[in-house]
Structure 1
Amino acid sequence: MSAPHLVTLDVWTVAAHDVPRALWRMAADRPVLPRLPGARFAKLLGTGDGRTFTVRDADPLRWAALVAWDSPADAERFETSRPVRAWAGIARERVQFRLAPRGSRGRWSGREPFGPAAARSGPPEGGDGPVASITRARLRPGRAASFWRAVPPVAAELHAVPGLRCAFGIGEAPLGFQGTFSLWDSTRALREFAHRGAAHRDVMVRTPREGWYAEELFARFDVVGVRGTLGGRTP
């Protein structure tokens, strides 16, 4: 599959008293989202702070939708869709990250949703413009405890790296389906974390040896735009 023209990640923030309504939307929108015109891959996701990747990370006030689109026009039509209209009646805040796939490796639910590895060239290393990263993994149940022990040092390292604009956990379920979204000033900033942080390097080395994942994916994106706010600001 070729790379989609545009990927959107929407994050809606709700008030505590609207959590039941948000949970209902997650159930009601699940069959609708993949059937929207131009949606070639779609996932409804919970979010969390990504510090341990256990249930205690989960943030019941923030919910997300990730969609890979055939065209920017399809993404624009999403704005008048039933899911977006319904979330507008619930959410107190919304941010949408608009992303152009730059390269991807691995699979998500057996698919390559952002195209094959090195699907699209981007600006030179350290070039202008913010970039984003999405990681996702399905844990092997027998390896989960070992993985969870390795996460806190990496999370602490991540949030101390210069050039990070925002980062949070994403996943289809609170346990066993682990993912992250991060937004960076530049490719150089992302690479500084990925390859120079001691805790992250250790996890990279241990991953094939420990066999933590039954499935994994890493993707990079150029940031086309950011609409709305997260925590009261535009990242």
Structure 2
Amino acid sequence: MSAPDLVTLDVWTVGARDVPRALWRMAADRPLLGRLPGARFAKMLGTGDGRTFTVRDADPLRWAALVAWDAREDAEAFEGSRTARAWAGIARERVQFRLAPRSSRGRWSGREPFGADAGGAVAGPVASLTRARLRPARAASFWRSVPPVAQELHTVPGLRCAIGIGEAPLGYQGTFSVWESTEALREFAHRGPAHRDVMNRTPREGWYAEELFARFGVVDVRGTLDGRTP
């Protein structure tokens, strides 16, 4: 399958009193998002700090939408959609990452949403997305392995931002991170001892029933996250 023309990740931050409205929007927007013109793949996502990948990480004040678009014009038209307008009415802060797929391995809900391999080097900032569905019998072992990797991630040079993402509080989880360069991402992925240990253990531990790893060029970042543009 060919790569989409553009992938967007919207992250909305709401106030505590608007959490019930955000939860309602999450339920209401799941079917709407995938029916938008040009949306070939769409997910409403919860977020967290990604330090344990358990319910302790969950952030009820921050929610996200990931969409792979056939064309950039479709992504622009999203701004007039019911979903975008509704979140604009409750969000205190919004950031949108606009991404060009460069490589992807694995599946998400049985699909290859970002194409098999778009190819091409990334000049400038690069984004990484990981997503996995855990095998219930192996979840405890996986969760024990996460804290050292999370600590390593949040201290490595070249990281601009990182958030945990997931379709459910348990068992469906991932990370989205933005890096200053491909070299910075590679330094973490292949030279960080904790991350390298988890990579080496993954095949023999059998943690994942489904997994996906994708890399993107950062086309643009619109808005702010925690008061700044990543």
Sort the TM-score into its range (normalised by shorter chain): over 0.9
- State the Cα deviation string for residues 140-197 of structure 1 (Å, max 9, x = none): 0000000000000000000110000000100000100010000000000000000000
Q: Is the Cα–Cα contact under 8 Å of residues 133 and 219 in structure 1 kept in the other structure?
A: yes
Give RMSD over aligned pairs. 0.6
Q: Percent identity over the alignment?
A: 84
Partner of 1:202: 197
Task: Choose which of 174, 177, 184 in structure 2 pairs with 1:179.
Answer: 174
Cα offset for 1:121?
1.4
Q: Counterparts of 1:176 and 1:194 in 2: how far apart (Å)?
A: 22
Structure 1 residue 75 displacement after superposition: 0.2
Give the length in aligned residue pairs: 230
Structure 1 unaligned segments of length 5 or more: list them: none
Q: Does 1:119 align with 2:118?
A: yes
Distance (Å, rounded) in 2 between the aligned partners of 1:215 and 1:63: 23
Task: Give the aligned partner of residue 44 of structure 1.
Answer: 44
Q: CA deviation at 1:122?
A: 2.3
Partner of 1:70: 70
For structure 2, the residue ranges without an aligned partner over 5 or more in a row are none
Q: TM-score, normalised by structure 1?
A: 0.97
Distance 2:119 2:184 in 1: 20
Does 1:105 find its partner at 2:100? no
Partner-residue secondary structure (3-state), 1:137:
strand
Confirm or deny: 8 A CA contact 1:3 1:120 kept in the other structure: no
Residue deviations 1:90-149 (CA, integer Å, cap 9, x gap): 000000000000000000000000001x323124xxxx3100000000000000000000
- Superposition misfits of 4+ residues, deviation over 4 angstroms: none
Counterpart in the other structure of 2:53: 53
Q: 1:226 aligns with which of 221, 224, 227?
A: 221
